Structure formats: structure tokens, C-alpha cells
Amino acid sequence: MSLSRDQVTKIAHLARLDIAEADVAKYQSELSNILTMVEQMSAVDTKGVDPMPHPFDLGQRLREDEVTESNQRESFQAIAPQVEAGLYLVPKVIE
């Protein structure tokens, strides 16, 4: 399976990766190779096999509903680029 240039740019955009125009062809071929490799698995007959959501054959453990976290805002905000009035500030995101 081979990806188009547009597909590569779209994947990059969805992952918020800024890739150089000159590198698109390289990613195109590398990603296509990966997909070709994965495609080999399609040859396996999976009829009657449940999809595997996780490699471990276990269920998850649950937590009791208790408040165990205290307010650590000061420490968290000490490493934030910009804060004000207790809020984290980010570039404007109105749609």
C-alpha cells in the first residue's frame, strides 16, 4: 500500500508535526513501507477471532471513589509558560 503526498501532509497535520516540504517524499516512502509490512497480516484468517484491545489477557483493576489528590496548583503552574488568575494561558483558540 502506498500513501499519496496529500495523505502524508494530512497525517502530519493531524499529529501537529511540522515536516519540511523536501522531506515529504521520504516520509511517503517510509510510511508506505511500514504499511506494506503491516499489510502482510491481512493474509491471516481472523474469522472467529475477537479483536485484541490489549496484549495482556487481563481486566483492569478499579479504584475506590475517594479524593486522594490535594491542590498542587502552585507547583504545576511554576513550569507553565504563562498563567494568570489561576488559569493556564494559551494562544487564542476560538473557532
Applying CB under 8 A, which residues contact another protein? Answer: 10, 14, 16, 51, 53-54, 56, 58-69, 71-73, 76-77, 82, 84-95
Q: How far apart are CA 42 and CA 26, in angstroms?
A: 25
Q: What is the dihedral of CA 3, 8, 10, 15, to 10 degrees?
A: 120
Of residues 21 and 55, the one with the C-beta less far from another protein: 55
Of residues 47 and 92, the one with the C-beta less far from another protein: 92
Closest approach of another protein to the CB of residue 22, in Å: 25
Q: How far apart are CA 4 and CA 7, in angstroms?
A: 5
